[in-house]
Amino acid sequence: MSIDSSLIGRSACDVVDLLRTQQVSPRDLLDTLAAQIERVEPQVNALPTLCFERAYEHADALMRKPVAERGVLCGLPVPIKDLTDVAGVRTTRGSLVYNERVPETSDAGVTLLEARGGVVYAKSNTPEFGSGGHTYNSVFGITRNPWDLSRSAGGSSGGAAAALASGTAWVAQGSDLAGSLRTPSAFCGTVGMRPTPGRVSYAPAADPYGTLGIHGPMARNVTDTALLLDAMCGDVAGSPLSLAEPATSFLSHARSPRRPARVAFSAGLGIATPEPEILAICRSTMDRLTEHGVGVDDSDLDLSGATEAFHTLRGIAYATSYEEILAQHRDVLNPNVVWNIEFGLQQDNRAMRSALRTRAELFYRLDALLQRYDVLICPASIVLPFPVEMRDVREAAGRHFDTYIDWLAITYALTLTGMPVIAIPCGMSASGLPVGIQIVGRPRGEAALLSAARAIEEIIGTWATGKSQVS
């Protein structure tokens, strides 16, 4: 066994460089992670399912190959969200319905990731079926925020973000529908990217043509996020919308930061009102960009029509995926999941037509804005991480929310547009909790977005592991 705790604080790109020069092996990394997990997991509960035996076998198989043939990750360990199948590994989707489920085959996205040199060693925690912005379920319990263990890590990729912040992962796979990559990143001081639908493929799916729920990368900084995106992107069998792998790597673009000339800033996209402290930190971030020569204009962008349209389309997606589950297992489902499915089953043609028209209008509205600006920036969450005893947020900045997901409007409004979005940390609250911004790029514009995000990150800094309560 070879444990080197100094590796925990290194960037993923640095660790991959060490793998390529064979200064460390994939086994060394797994040994180091196992020790870190033993130390911090009892407090955080980010990675409730471990599969180290499988990981060591995969690592050994990689090490039998020449270094040049070990893929873009070259043996870097990667946790997989518990919504996504990994062959031979318990995959519960956070639900008692699947409490003992062990799939025989992996999701196509996992297979691709492993072919690119990723070594799967754990499953990250998620709310049941990914339904919500707080990671808890009846199978594994609550995931806690490493910055303050009494606070939520966000959701639904909360386990992934908490693992990054507590040093039990260098990168992490996640997914995003209402903001599930972006909200946990805001809560945990990490980076989460929602790519263009089809950029990161997965299969099979209940609706392979769906564009609301997507998979994407998480890491501790923009460059590491680009590295994982390179490993996750590309055409896969069984995914009809998948986009081809780009000729130039996303990592290359992130390593060539290009400072945006003009930025549009929106406090709430016309649909949300952040808490005053969050807005003050985000505006201070815009001031820092201005000081470094970036032109920042306040935007009057209004995406307020997104709420009804998103509820309709999200509800239909839940009904498509889980109608039979509701019929057979209603008694063990989270009430929020029951509501999601039933709401979808109630939608009629009129609601569907209206939602599709609204979605098109919102896309064109944002697209027109991004013809004039390099990127759009807005807060990544309207609230700070809340106490873990709360199941959701029902009031913020003096506004009451009708449903358990409407506090996520600032993220789900952007989901509807299909634009690539990256969430990065931008500061800390007076109580020592992370605050993040979303940076929105043009359609299929991940390369330029990563370059701009890296330039912004250079100006405002990062919040690396080593400063939280448990890392």
Tell me the backbone φ, ψ of residue 123, rounded to 5 degrees: -110, 135
Which H/E stretch holds residue 210?
none
Note if 123 is an active site residue.
no
Catalytic residue among 156, 185, 266, 321: 156
C-alpha to C-alpha distance for 237 and 216, rounded to whole angstroms: 18
* pLDDT for 464 beyond 90: no
C-alpha to C-alpha distance for 362 and 366, rounded to whole angstroms: 6
CB 151 within 8 A of CB 107: no
Amino acid at 333: L
Catalytic residue among 95, 106, 175, 180: 180
Helix, strand or coil for residue 465? Answer: coil
Which H/E stretch holds residue 19?
helix 12-20
- Residues 410-423: what's their mean pLDDT? 98
Of the candidates 312, 434, 458, the one whose C-alpha atom is nearest the C-alpha of residue 384 is 434
Confidence of residue 469 (pLDDT cuts 50, 70, 90): confident
Of the candidates 139, 137, 170, 401, the one whose C-alpha atom is nearest the C-alpha of residue 158 is 137
- Residues 281-303: what's their mean pLDDT? 98
pLDDT tens digits along 162-181 = 999 999 999 999 999 999 99
- Whole-model pTM: value is 0.98
Residue 170 structure tokens: 């260098």
Note if 95 is an active site residue.
no
- Residues 370-390: what's their mean pLDDT? 98
Catalytic residue among 81, 381, 451, 471: 81
At the top level of CATH, the class of 5-303+362-460 is alpha beta
* pLDDT for 49 beyond 90: yes
- Residues 312-324: what's their mean pLDDT? 98
* pLDDT for 463 beyond 70: no
Residue 196 structure tokens: 């263009």
**pLDDT value of residue 315:** 98
Residue 208 structure tokens: 């392979």
Q: Which residues contact 145 (CB under 8 A, 6 or more apart)?
A: 151, 152, 153, 154, 162, 165, 187, 188, 385, 388, 433
Q: Is the peptide bond before 146 cis (omega within 30 degrees of 0)?
A: no
Mean pLDDT (the chain) is 97
C-alpha to C-alpha distance for 58 and 55, rounded to whole angstroms: 5
Going 200 to 205 to 207 to 212, the CA torsion angle's sign is negative
Q: Is the peptide bond before 156 cis (omega within 30 degrees of 0)?
A: yes
Please, is 431 exposed, middle or buried when counting C-beta atoms within 10 Å of its C-beta (0-12, 13-18, 19+)? exposed
* pLDDT for 106 beyond 70: yes
**pLDDT value of residue 74:** 98
* pLDDT for 82 beyond 90: yes
Task: Spell out the alpha helix ranges (H) of 241-389.
Answer: 250-254, 276-291, 306-329, 335-346, 349-372
* pLDDT for 465 beyond 70: no
* pLDDT for 139 beyond 90: yes
Amino acid at 219: A
Helix, strand or coil for residue 217? Answer: strand
- Other CB atoms within 10 A of residue 258 CB: 13
* pLDDT for 92 beyond 50: yes
* pLDDT for 457 beyond 50: yes
Concatenating the DSSP letter of every residue in 119-133 gives EEEEEE--SGGG-SS
**pLDDT value of residue 247:** 96
**pLDDT value of residue 358:** 98
**pLDDT value of residue 466:** 44
* pLDDT for 202 beyond 80: yes
C-alpha to C-alpha distance for 464 and 470, rounded to whole angstroms: 13
Can you give the residue ranges of every domain in the chain? 5-303+362-460
Note if 156 is an active site residue.
yes
Helix, strand or coil for residue 259? Answer: coil
